[in-house]
Amino acid sequence: MTMPKEIVAWQMDAPEKPLVRRTLPVPALRPGDVLVEVAGCGLCHTDLSFLYGGVKTKKAPPLTLGHEIAGKVVAAGDGVEHLVGKSVIVPAVLPCGECDLCRAGQGTACRKQIMPGNDLDGGFASHTALPGRFVLPVEPGTFALWELGVIADAVTTPYQATERARVAPGDVVVVIGVGGIGCYGVQVSAARGASVIAVDIDAAKLEAVASYGARATVNAKGLDARGLKDAVKAEAKKLGLPPHRWKVFEMSGTAPGQTAAYELLTFGGTVGFIGFTMEKVSVRLGNLMAFDATAFGNWGCLPELYRPATDLVLAGKVQIRPFSKRYALDEVNDVIARARAHELKERPVLVP
C-alpha cells in the first residue's frame, strides 16, 4: 500500500467557528493501531453538537471531527498487520474490550472507549489513525466504499436499539424523528418483522420512509404530546395493531421528541432514547412502574453487531442510497451550514 506523505484534515479550532483546512504529519502507529485512508465520512448531528450545541469533545481542539468512517487500511502497527489492504468500516465507538463493562457485554458504556472525532482525530480528513481491534473488514459489493460510511453510526446505532428492545415479528414500533438515523430505525425495525409507525414534523421525510418500511406515518407538526399520542393510536387502530407493548424509539434528538416518546409509553411497552439533546424534559417516572414498562438509552453500537447490521445493507434489506448524498470534503463548511439550516434532505457523506 502507498503511505501518505501527509494528512489533509479539516479541524475544529473552537466552538462556533468554521473548520480549518490543515496539512498534518502522518502519526507514528502504536501497536494495534491502523492508518485508514478515508473513502467517506458521514456528517452526524453529534458533529454539529460539538461545533454549535455546547457539547465538549474529549480531546481539546484543534480536533478533526467525523466518526462515520469507511476506508482502506494502508498501514498498521504491531499485531494488526493482517488488516493492511482491507476495506473497513470503523465503529463510531471503539471499546477497550477488556474492562468489566466490556466483559459484561456493555462495551458501548466502556469508560476507556475511543470515539473518532471526539477522543482523537476523526474522518474529516484524507487519513486517520485509530485502534484497529474492532474495525470491520467488508467487501463493498455493488457499493462504492464511501457509501458505507453511514453504516458506522446512522445504521448501526438504530440496529443496536432494536437489539436492546428485542424487536421481533409482530411487534409495533414507533419511530419519532425519521431523519439521519430515524430513516434507518424504520428500515431495520421493518426488516426484523415489526409494523412501523413513523413520526416527524417534516412531510417530505415521512413521504420518503413510507416507501421504505413504514406502514403508517404521522405528521406531528402542531401537535402536543397528548395530541400526537391520539394520532398514533388512531393509526395503529386502522392497521389492526395491538394497543399495548409498543416499542418507541426517540431518534429526533429534541426535547419535544423525548416528551412525545415518553407519552407514547404503553402497558408492557418499551421506550428507547437514541437521539441526543442537551435540553431537559419533565416526565412522570411513575408511569414506568404503573405500566410495567422499560426505558433505556442507547449510545452507539457494539462492534460485534456491525456484521449483521452491515449484512442488512449489503443484502438490500436496508437501503442507504436514497438517504445519503456525496459531497467533496472541501465543501464541509458549506455542508455544515446547510445542515444547520435544515436544507439537506439526505445525510451528507464527505469524500476526500
Per residue in 148-159, pLDDT (tens digit) is 999 999 999 999
% of the chain residues with pLDDT over 70:
100
**Residue type present at position 224:** D
pLDDT grade for 188, boundaries at 50, 70 and 90:
very high
CB 80 within 8 A of CB 45: no
244: which residues sit within 8 A by CB, 6+ positions away? 266, 267, 268, 269
Whether 61 shows a pLDDT value over 80: the answer reads yes
Q: What are the sequence ranges of the domains in the chain?
A: 7-153+301-351, 156-297
Whether 225 shows a pLDDT value over 90: the answer reads no
Region 10-31: mean pLDDT is: 96
Q: What is the pLDDT of residue 142?
A: 95
Local structure of residue 26 (DSSP, 8 states): P
pTM comes to 0.95
User: Cell 431495520 belongs to which residue?
Assistant: 188
% of the chain residues with pLDDT over 90:
96
pLDDT grade for 277, boundaries at 50, 70 and 90:
confident
Instruction: State which CATH number among 3.90.180.10, 3.40.50.920, 2.130.10.10, 3.40.50.2000 fits the domain covering 7-153+301-351.
Output: 3.90.180.10
SS3 content of the chain, % helix, strand, coil (to 5): 30, 25, 45
How many Cβ atoms sit within 10 Å of the Cβ of residue 255?
14
**DSSP character string of 17-60:** S--EEEEEPPPPPPTTEEEEEEEEEE--HHHHHHHHSSPPPSSP
Q: Among residues 205, 172, 171, 193, which one has the least CA distance to residue 312?
A: 193
Report pLDDT digits (tens) over 299-320. 999 999 999 999 999 999 999 9
How many Cβ atoms sit within 10 Å of the Cβ of residue 183?
32
Q: What is the CATH number of domain 156-297?
A: 3.40.50.720
Whether 65 shows a pLDDT value over 80: the answer reads yes
298 phi, psi to nearest 5 deg: -135, 120
Domain 156-297 in the same topology as domain 7-153+301-351: no
